[in-house]
Structure 1
Amino acid sequence: MQPSNLLKIESLDQDWRDKDTVMLHACFQLLKDCVEEEQLLTGHIDWDADARHRAAKIELQALYDWWLQRVDKENACDALDAVCYEEDTAMLLRLVQLRWALWT
């Protein structure tokens, strides 16, 4: 079992990154880990409990899917590109709004 205070960000290499980029990648790594390692969407949480949980599951799945595609197109999307940066920020805000649902 790895220490819970360490986060390996799979989408970043050892090169220098500005903290805004690290923040984006770290937050989505947490989501990815929750989905893949802790079975966030398929585990013991009753996502059908109410409308809020049903909507959260749909949104979490959408964010997870977006991130997987985002990482695939990383080289095509310059971090300084205003359109990419705006989209990244919008998706990060959506994830932060679901912070309450990231427990397993």
Structure 2
Amino acid sequence: MSTPALAYLGAQLDAPDAATVLAAVWDTLTLITELADATAFEEGSDELQAMAAAQRCSQARDLLPLPTGGEPVAAPVPAAGAAGLDPDTDRPAPVRPAAVVPSAPPAMTSAPT
């Protein structure tokens, strides 16, 4: 993992603005999902646990309203093996396309079931 990405998300999670925190939670769940997906294909990893973690994070993110602004944090590509889980491994993050965000999230008319 990239230490700058983790530090940035940590600062955003502590922000006083609810919209900033929501966007940071969205990005954090996305990064964990992508990391778990990548880990599932690593030799010697517990594929079932990694896939379960990815599914849970994806499900949790689906419960959140869409962020109303900002750009997603670039997800670093994890290195192979255990080194990919080391937060002190810095490498350039790939460029991700900007998220398409509606001007206002749709209003919920009933509680999700």
Asked if these proteins are the same fold (TM beyond 0.5), I'd say no
Q: Calculate the TM-score normalised by the size of structure 2.
A: 0.36
Q: Which has the higher helix share?
A: 1
